[in-house]
């Protein structure tokens, strides 16, 4: 589903997670050293639990309340700003922009218990949708689900938006891996023009659309120059199409010095939730209906950016670039 299945995961969205690699290594060691009494029960569980990431996941308030997430939120710091009350009798799709390298705003605001989400949006449950590949990674999938993310597959999004009586929010990072390659400080390039799958699924379920812009998301890292047409960008694009995730070459600060390293810069992130766009349920939307709603969404997203950019130090002449 274009615009849904091509969206990204939290934490380190454009790179394979080191935690995932460690989990795979642990399982391989168990198999190599024949700890069958550990890996056979787990693999059996994995088989039986395979569809859980598409059925609302399995979040843990204990994991979401780990102190590390408070330090994570306060490091930048991360803020959540509401511009309009939402009616909990509806389900919603939050289109999250921009992707950036880390997607820190999406994770910090919607996957931990230290954000103001519950205070600002009482009666709602948020689901951050991430690439299905991460739920196929043994052991790591359990850790990932515990903080709240679910798969970005069509079946998973439909499950969230099918809740009777409303109160569910699907958060989808619409720009995906492609957009992460254009995540440069001071730049606001969004891959949105061809992302229309989220509009179709919104129409199908009657889910209201809400544009979300995370100011400061692109300021956390500096990326090696990779203009379109360059050898580096060509290689990155090909790898992204093959593997499903991007490999941006980025740097920031170190732990004890500010000159070079992989620790993100301490730049404030303000995630602004825009006004909801009412959507009338249409089980079989036409291309014209999808296009009309998609245009409305882009207009509201641009309006949101223009209304708030001055508050966060963005020059008047800077604007969004839709690709």
Q: How many other CB atoms sit within 10 Å of the CB of residue 84?
A: 9
- Give the structural domain span for 83: 18-322
Does 42 map to a domain? yes
How long, in residues, is the chain?
323
- Confidence class for position 259, pLDDT limits 50, 70, 90: confident
CA 30 to chain centre: 32
Residue indicated by tokens 């849904």: 4
- Confidence class for position 57, pLDDT limits 50, 70, 90: very high
Overall average pLDDT of the 230-238 stretch? 72
- Confidence class for position 11, pLDDT limits 50, 70, 90: very low
* Residue 247 pLDDT: 67
* Residue 215 pLDDT: 98
* Residue 24 pLDDT: 86
Does 210 map to a domain? yes
Question: Residue 14: pLDDT above 50?
Answer: no
Higher-scoring residue by pLDDT: 266, 260: 266
* Residue 252 pLDDT: 87
* Residue 268 pLDDT: 97
Does 8 map to a domain? no
Does 4 map to a domain? no
Cα(189)–Cα(154) distance, rounded to whole angstroms?
Answer: 26
* Residue 250 pLDDT: 78
* Residue 12 pLDDT: 33
**Predicted confidence (pLDDT) per residue in 16-39, tens digit:** 456 877 888 999 999 999 999 999
Does 6 map to a domain? no
* Residue 224 pLDDT: 78
CA 252 to chain centre: 21
Q: Which of 5-14, 21-30, 127-136, 195-204 has the lowest mean pLDDT?
A: 5-14
Q: Provide the percentage of residues in the chain whose pLDDT is more than 90.
A: 75
Write out the DSSP string of 196-253: -HHHHHHHHHTPEEEEEEEETGGGS-EE----TTSHHHHHHHHHHHHHSS----EE-B
Instruction: Determine the longest span between alpha carbons in the chain, in angstroms.
Output: 63
Question: Residue 285: pLDDT above 90?
Answer: yes
Does 124 map to a domain? yes
* Residue 257 pLDDT: 82
Higher-scoring residue by pLDDT: 255, 215: 215
Question: Residue 40: pLDDT above 90?
Answer: yes
Q: Rounded to 5, what percent of the chain is helix, strand, coil?
A: 40, 15, 45
pTM here is: 0.90
* Residue 96 pLDDT: 98
Does 29 map to a domain? yes
**Predicted confidence (pLDDT) per residue in 46-55, tens digit:** 999 999 999 9
Q: How many other CB atoms sit within 10 Å of the CB of residue 266?
A: 14
For all residues of the chain together, what is the average pLDDT?
Answer: 90
Does 10 map to a domain? no
* Residue 211 pLDDT: 98
Q: Is 201 left (phi over 0), alpha (psi -120 to 50) or beta?
A: alpha
* Residue 17 pLDDT: 59
Overall average pLDDT of the 211-229 stretch? 88
**Predicted confidence (pLDDT) per residue in 167-189, tens digit:** 999 999 999 878 888 889 999 99
* Residue 121 pLDDT: 98
Cα(136)–Cα(140) distance, rounded to whole angstroms?
Answer: 9
Domain count, the chain: 1
């Amino acid at each position: 589903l274009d615009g849904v299945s091509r969206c990204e995961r939290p934490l380190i969205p454009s790179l394979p997670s080191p935690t995932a690699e460690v989990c795979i290594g642990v399982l391989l060691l168990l198999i190599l050293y024949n700890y069958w009494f550990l890996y056979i029960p787990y693999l059996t569980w994995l088989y039986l639990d395979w569809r859980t990431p598409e059925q609302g996941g399995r979040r843990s308030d204990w994991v979401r309340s780990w102190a590390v997430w408070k330090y994570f939120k306060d490091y930048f710091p991360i803020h959540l700003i509401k511009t309009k009350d939402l009616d909990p009798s509806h389900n919603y799709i939050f289109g999250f922009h921009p992707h950036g390298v880390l997607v820190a705003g999406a994770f910090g605001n919607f996957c931990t218990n230290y954000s103001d989400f519950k205070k600002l949006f009482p009666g709602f449950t948020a689901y951050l949708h991430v690439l299905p590949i991460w739920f196929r990674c043994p052991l790591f999938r359990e850790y990932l689900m515990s903080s709240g993310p679910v798969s970005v597959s069509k079946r998973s999004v439909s499950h969230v938006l099918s809740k009777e009586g409303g109160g569910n929010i699907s958060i989808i990072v619409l720009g995906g891996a492609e957009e992460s390659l254009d995540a440069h400080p001071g730049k606001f390039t969004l891959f949105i023009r061809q992302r229309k799958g989220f509009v179709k699924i919104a129409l199908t379920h009657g889910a209201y659309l809400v544009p979300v812009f995370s100011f400061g998301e692109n300021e956390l890292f500096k990326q090696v120059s990779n203009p379109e047409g360059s050898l580096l960008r060509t290689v990155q694009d090909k790898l992204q199409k093959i593997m499903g995730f991007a490999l941006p070459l980025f740097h920031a600060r170190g732990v004890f010095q500010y000159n070079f390293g992989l620790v993100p810069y301490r730049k404030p992130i303000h995630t602004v939730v825009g006004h909801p766009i009412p959507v009338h349920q249409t089980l079989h939307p036409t291309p014209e209906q999808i296009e009309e709603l998609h245009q409305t969404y882009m207009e509201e997203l641009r309006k949101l950016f223009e209304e708030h950019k001055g508050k966060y130090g963005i020059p008047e002449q800077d604007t969004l670039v839709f690709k």
